Amino acid sequence: MTRYFTKDHEWIAVEGSEATVGITDYAQSQLGDITFVELPGEGSEVGKGDSASVVDSVKAASDVYAPVSGKVTLANAALEEQPELVNTDPEGEGWLWKMTLADAAELDGLMDEAAYQAYVAEL
């Protein structure tokens, strides 16, 4: 499984043509306590850069953008009852949705973990 990151602090873990999307630990730390997560509908099409989800916290509501284009295959239903999973395990159990990639070439514009860590260090 290969993991990529965006400048908007989303991560995407890719295995073949399937991917899992969430927000990074840095993003959740900036948002504070997550109180609600609005997830994309299963079967919905998302375009790269489109707002696909919204994470509400005690500080603000923040859009989560699709790192690549594709079709949502599964939303993390656990977040309906436990939105705090995004805080406690943002890059694990706090994932937001799974999707099928429309164009794997879109991954080329994303950062690997080392590049993302360097990007965050400059913020």
Q: What is the pLDDT of residues 58-111, one digit of tens each?
A: 999 999 999 999 999 999 999 999 999 999 999 999 999 999 999 999 999 999
Q: Cβ(68)–Cβ(14) under 8 Å? A: no
Query: What local confidence, expressed as pLDDT, does residue 112 receive?
Result: 97
Residue 121 lies in a domain: no
Q: What is the tens place of the pLDDT at every residue in 9-62?
A: 999 999 999 999 999 999 999 999 999 999 999 999 999 999 999 999 999 999
113 phi, psi to nearest 5 deg = -60, -40
pLDDT value of position 1? 87
Specify the number of domains making up the chain: 1
Distances in Å between the alpha carbon of 83 and those of 80, 98, 114? 6, 17, 28
Residue 97's CATH number: 2.40.50.100
Question: Does any domain span residue 13?
Answer: yes
In a domain, 115, yes or no: no
Structural domain range at position 22: 2-103
Domain contains 91: yes
Q: Looking at the domain assignment, is residue 108 inside a domain?
A: no
Asked whether the beta carbons of 67 and 21 are under 8 A apart, the reply is yes
40 in a structural domain? yes
| Bridge partners, residue 68, by sequence | none
Q: Is residue 123 part of a domain?
A: no
**pTM of structure:** 0.96
